[in-house]
Amino acid sequence: MLAGVLAALLITADLRLNQLAATRALISAVTFPFYWVSDLPARFSNWGEENVQSRARLVDDNERLRAEALLLEAQVQQMAALRAENVRLRALLNSSALLQDDVLVAELVGVSPDPARHLVVLDKGSSEGVFNGQPLIDANGLMGQVIEVAANSARVLLITDATHALPVQVNRNGVRAIAEGIGRLDRLELRHVASTEDIAVGDLLVSSGLGGRFPEGYPVATVTEVEIDPGQAFARVTAKPSAALNRSRHVLLVFTGGAGSAD
């Protein structure tokens, strides 16, 4: 009872007179190390949980992070492909703005499995007005012509197919020739070019419009080699197609106001 009365008196005196503030501060300074020491086990436990992990957990975290990194790399690759496709589409749209003919954007959805035939399949057909003999171009030049049309698809024969030929002319001086495919996507050959004709490496070949199949003035190929044999009447001329035949995905079907049958 005496201790209780003494405690009540001390509390009352402290509340009213604030006489024990210095004493409390001294007691707090003395007892602080005891609190700090008593808290060590809890702090050590927390530090251990944060910094000391089991090998199994580390392996799991490593596998998870590796999977996430692989997923992010795949997403980056997809973004790069989308950016490249966007660049190609912009180039295609810019080229179509320079054309005087009406065009229809199409996408390649198939390629012939026969390596001897250079055929591709488009996602546009007769329902969009596609017709046999219709020219096909990409952002760089002439690619080929439609040879078969269905309601929602069309087959195109590329200019490099061994059965394809088209009349061209040298853009520099108007010299005419026939560019024939030889079954290689990177090469065309010009037939029956006289050895005396003015044609040189680097000359741009464009469609001449003769025959009424292809419109005039579309880039076809660039001359890469001219061989003249003094004993032969004709020179051997090879050229590289302007169109990206093995890379273009989006292409343009050209409407020139008429249809015809494939050669």
Most trustworthy range by pLDDT among 48-57, 71-80, 195-204? 195-204
Rg (CA), the chain: 41
Tell me if 213 is assigned to some domain: yes
Question: 49-63, 78-92, 133-147 — which is least confidently predicted?
Answer: 78-92
Considering the domain architecture, whether residues 137 and 241 belong to the same structural domain is answered as yes
DSSP state of 213: S
Considering the domain architecture, whether residues 245 and 136 belong to the same structural domain is answered as yes
Given this model, what pLDDT does residue 94 score? 63
Structural domain of residue 19, as residue ranges? 2-51
> What predicted TM-score, i.e. pTM, was given to this entire model?
0.62
Tell me if 8 is assigned to some domain: yes
Whether pLDDT at 45 is above 60: yes
Helices (runs of H) and strands (runs of E) counted in the chain: 4, 12
Q: What is the band of 263 on the pLDDT scale with cuts at 50, 70, 90?
A: very low
Higher pLDDT, 62 or 253: 253
Look up residue 4 and give its two tokens: 């209780």
Look up residue 132 and give its two tokens: 């046999």
High-pLDDT (> 70) share of the chain, %: 73
Tell me if 217 is assigned to some domain: yes
Considering the domain architecture, whether residues 38 and 143 belong to the same structural domain is answered as no
Whether pLDDT at 258 is above 60: no
Total domain count, the chain? 2
